[in-house]
Amino acid sequence: MIREIKKIGIIIKRDFKILMTYRLAFSAMFLNMIFNLFYFILFGSMFKETTPDALIPYKQDFVTYLLIGSIGWSFLWTVMSSSSIALRNEMMIGTLESILLSSTSLLTIVIAYTIFGCFMGLISTVIFLSVGYFIYHAYFMANMYTLLIFLVSIIMMAGLGMIFSGLTIWIKNIGQTIPLIQNISMFFSGVYFPVSILPKYLQGVAKFVPFYYSIEGMRISIVSPSESIQYLVILILISSIFVILGIYSLRKGLEKAMKEGSLAFY
């Protein structure tokens, strides 16, 4: 157990060294993120003096609403995509099989990638909060319920990341599956606009999108902590399912790849 924990630290350290080696790519990634945020916030600033009726239940202006959605969405999907993208890269350069031959378990590798994704998500969160506060004077007060929903959501996204990691090992090229799911989920999760402005027949769809309970739960917890408990309970159930499916997906994907001898190539 202690050896596996040490290995997690070694993998994270390696990834940070790689990240700092390509500083231009690192800088461009976050600059692109900031400019995308600017687009939405500048659009939202048109409503700074008036609060749209759809935002009245959240007791927030549009800029603050966009800031919360951007922070939650960016962090959670950074955590989710970190493991599947990293595993794909390991297979592309042919190092995944070598790592596994060192008696390092696949779950240890995925956990390391997920923690690294949390660090990257934390950096984006600090940037978003700084932009929102110092430029637009937008801020919000999180509480214990907000943090609990956020932490459970991270576990949920880690489980989803394991599912896609297993699929990546299984079928190698999953194409635009993750971006497709991300776009559909963003539409129904209330990231940039409330679900209430959708047509009635589409609003019900949001209740079947797991990420809706993360974003909406964080918003509700800030306004009315007690009402966010139902979102927390649902997220705990979804997280448990995703983690179980994720571990199963990893195991089956690894078994298939080892049987076919396809770990050494992408």
For 118-143, write each residue's pLDDT tens digit. Answer: 888 888 888 878 877 777 777 778 88
CA separation for the pair 156, 68 (Å, rounded): 19
Range of the domain at 122: 2-260
Looking at residue 69, what is its pLDDT? 87
pLDDT in tens, 44-60: 666 666 667 788 888 88
Q: Taking the CB of residue 6, how many other CB atoms lie within 10 A of it?
A: 11
Residue 265 within a domain = no
pLDDT at residue 185 above 70? yes
Please tell me the pTM assigned to this model: 0.84
140 or 187, which is more confident?
187
pLDDT at residue 266 above 60? no
CB 211 within 8 A of CB 192: no
Residue 79 within a domain = yes
Looking at residue 145, what is its pLDDT? 92
Q: Taking the CB of residue 19, how many other CB atoms lie within 10 A of it?
A: 15
Using CA atoms of 57, 60, 62, 64 in order, give the dihedral in degrees to the nearest 10: -140
CA separation for the pair 192, 198 (Å, rounded): 12
Of 85-89, 172-176, 178-182, 246-250, the one with minimum mean pLDDT is: 172-176
Cβ-count burial 219-253 (b if 16+ within 10 Å, e if not): bbbbeeeeebeebbebbeebbeebbeebbebbeeb
Using CA atoms of 31, 16, 20, 266 in order, give the dihedral in degrees to the nearest 10: -80
pLDDT in tens, 5-47: 888 888 888 888 877 787 777 777 777 777 777 776 676 666 6
Phi-psi sector, 59: left (phi>0), alpha (psi -120 to 50), beta? left
Close Cβ partners of 115 (under 8 Å, ≥ 6 residues apart): 8, 12
Closest CA to 138 of 249, 62, 233: 62
Residue 198 within a domain = yes
pLDDT at residue 2 above 70? yes
pLDDT in tens, 191-229: 888 998 888 888 889 889 999 999 999 999 998 888 899
Looking at residue 40, what is its pLDDT? 67
How does the average pLDDT of the chain come out, rounded? 82
180 or 244, which is more confident?
244
103 DSSP 8-state letter: T
pLDDT in tens, 75-122: 888 888 887 777 777 777 777 777 777 777 888 888 888 888 888 888
Residue 266 within a domain = no
Tally the C-alpha atoms within 13 A of residue 250's C-alpha that lie toward its C-beta. 21
Q: What is the mean pLDDT of residues 147-156?
A: 92
Tally the domains of the chain: 1
